[in-house]
Chain A
């Protein structure tokens, strides 16, 4: 079962949340960020090239122009490969674990898998971010040897930064799966 809803991120940009319910113990949430806008790309390129042209008129050295082109191309490739995240996915499978995938604009995918033994809980936390107070969803990890202590806090959807309404949807679904898992663990 799949459905898609539109939400917004903390800056007001448009986000799409895609939910796939495979079964009662396996769910996937996919948050897609807006693509690279042509306007910002053109403006950055134009600024860089105007500055290079300005330097060229001062120095009369044509290597500045070729260097500017080179830098722009490399910078764009680097940005697409290392910085611009298109989609972030959270896959939660009961009794197996939680997997978070970030896919970049160049196609690169970065995956992190956390085993269910290490997961204590999934909560929504508040944080002070620059001049704002934002909400973020995070996974609390515990050391299996010390189940009472929280060893790490792993935030989810870090680059998409959805608002509270989107986070509540994801939170409710994840809590259902975790509750189901806790019930079956205590039973067995």
Chain B
């Protein structure tokens, strides 16, 4: 089978030395992680490999030799490198060679058949694949599967081909921690050998995140303990709280905060992304809320809003009164039953009158209330929007009441009609058997039943019209509330961090591989990954 050798692009110009990496037998590939330069002591190299293996659970070994020589052939180096094959025995033994300044590479992989058969070694075709170590390490290409009973992670190498290769690279981060300026017994070359990459902000953030998380978790636990106290369980408070969307949103936000500032590290890249998304969306929310707050509290907007609120409520009530007067007359040319019309119309008009009086009672306090509610925008735009939706619900409470009355009346009418229709046909609803049975009625039962049925049928258009009108009004209010809730949900759930990552650092979200082939050298194919 063809042997695949994965070689990091950063080591193509490194000096001669030993290749250190991992052999993956299921894929018949060797993943080279770093190059160890001369001079070295074999014992120290073996110690270093054992240390890294213990820290990262990746089976590292010396897989071959790397020879980067000048134009004039250095035969002694070649012999020396071959001799190393006996010290670090590995099957198969990879020998990569490149002449300085030329594009040509030569790769050889030799298998030793065994101690009994001396001097017979099998050579395979080799595909040399270059990979960018930095991008592989920073992307989430490795399989996120976590075995349920915590077996050794080496077992997952057999699945998912290339992902296993890249998983090896990502788990060997420990090997890349030392750069060429560190004084160690062994000199390595890898993507960080010019200097370990780090950002001072990230380091400071990492140091600060521990105590900050602890502090915030304590505060949050206090808040949740206070909210779980028995006082809030007295009726009707839970009922009201379940109807108000503000309470729901605050509860939601509390959950998010607990998750983001939990002291446990994220188990998998997916969880990390979720936490990051939540944090970014909360920050955006608070930023937008503060903008709204500053806009509201400038230019006396609160006063203007309060001044506009009462006339608006009055206007709505007036429009409703006009609508009811219209219904009490001959709406759209339909002829209504005068008596029922007048009763329903007067009933609803009285309600509106009560509502208007209530609003006028509240009018001195509106500005104060609005001012304090405006302060809540600093908790986030979503909270402000939820409060807006609740205020809308409270202000249109009378429409809700009308809808309930209309719906109840209509429901009663329909129930009565269906039952009397069955009587008209001589049938009855059998509650025990949950079906319609025939029944013989007495004459006076039939007579009264038919009379009532006729009355209800003739009153049907009136009730139906009232029901229709108030349902439409209620639908309008519900649509507006629904739009506000949609906006709130959008802010809550938009994954802004992932979107930003996709735009600015797309390789971190890479899940695929692109390869380009280039010039060949003899019969060995080189491909760049």
Contacts and interface: CB of A to CB of B under 8 A. Distances in A.
A93 B161 contact: no
B517 A26 contact: yes
A97 B514 CA distance: 11
Interface string B486-516: 0000000000000000000000000011110
Interface string A92-124: 011111010000000000011101110000000
B502 to A, nearest CB: 16
A93 B126 CA distance: 12
A96 B1 contact: no
B515 A99 contact: yes
A96 B27 CA distance: 9
A144 B28 CA distance: 17
Contacts of A113: 512-515
B161 A184 contact: no
B160 to A, nearest CB: 8
Contact of B514 (A111, A116, A117): A111
Contacts of A99: 514-515
B169 interface: no
A167 B129 CA distance: 29
B525 A26 contact: yes
A171 interface: no
A11 B162 CA distance: 39
B13 interface: no
Contact-residue bracket for chain B: 20 to 34
Interface string B76-113: 00000000000000000000000000000000000000
B30 to A, nearest CB: 13
Nearest to A22: B525
A185 interface: yes
Q: Which one of A95, A111, A116 has the highest number of Cβ atoms from chain B below 10 Å of its Cβ?
A: A95
B361 interface: no
B375 interface: no
B261 to A, nearest CB: 39
A23 B525 CA distance: 7
Given A23-B525, A117-B161, A96 B517 contact: no
Contacts of A96: 4, 127, 129, 515, 527
A144 to B, nearest CB: 7
A42 B4 CA distance: 51
Contacts of B515: 91, 93, 96, 99, 113
A113 to B, nearest CB: 5
Contact of A95 (B2, B160, B524): B2
Q: Which one of B4, B129, B513, B520 has the highest number of Cβ atoms from chain A below 10 Å of its Cβ?
A: B513
Interface string A64-95: 00000000000000000000000000010111
B161 A187 contact: no
Closest 3 interchain pairs by CB? Answer: A184-B1, A115-B161, A188-B1
Interface of B: 1-2, 4, 28, 125, 127, 129, 159-162, 512-515, 517, 520, 523-525, 527
